[in-house]
Amino acid sequence: MKVNALWDDGSTKSYINEDVSELGLSGAKQRVQVNVINGKTETFNTMTVNFQIESVVHNTRLNMEAQTTRNVTGTLKAID
């Protein structure tokens, strides 16, 4: 499956949309509080999931651990 991804190398955790059911992700649910821009915090339900990503161009694979969230990128639109 090809997907667009947004990686922030300055972040201490990775996040993935919780509605990506095609990946069959599962994990223990928990409530977390995270710091966001402008010194604000957000609290939401999440679960830790593990999956593998692969670059289409460079044939590189990476095992990932991420927290699920409702909408990772907010109003940003995917581009080709």
Residue position matching structure tokens 């977390």 = 32
Q: 8 — alpha (psi -120 to 50), left (phi > 0) or beta?
A: beta
Give dist(CA 20, CA 49) in Å, integer.
12
Q: How confident is the model at residue 30 (pLDDT cuts 50, 70, 90)?
A: very high
Give me the count of residues in the chain. 80
pLDDT, tens digit, for every residue of 32-74? 998 888 889 989 889 998 888 888 888 888 888 888 888 877 7
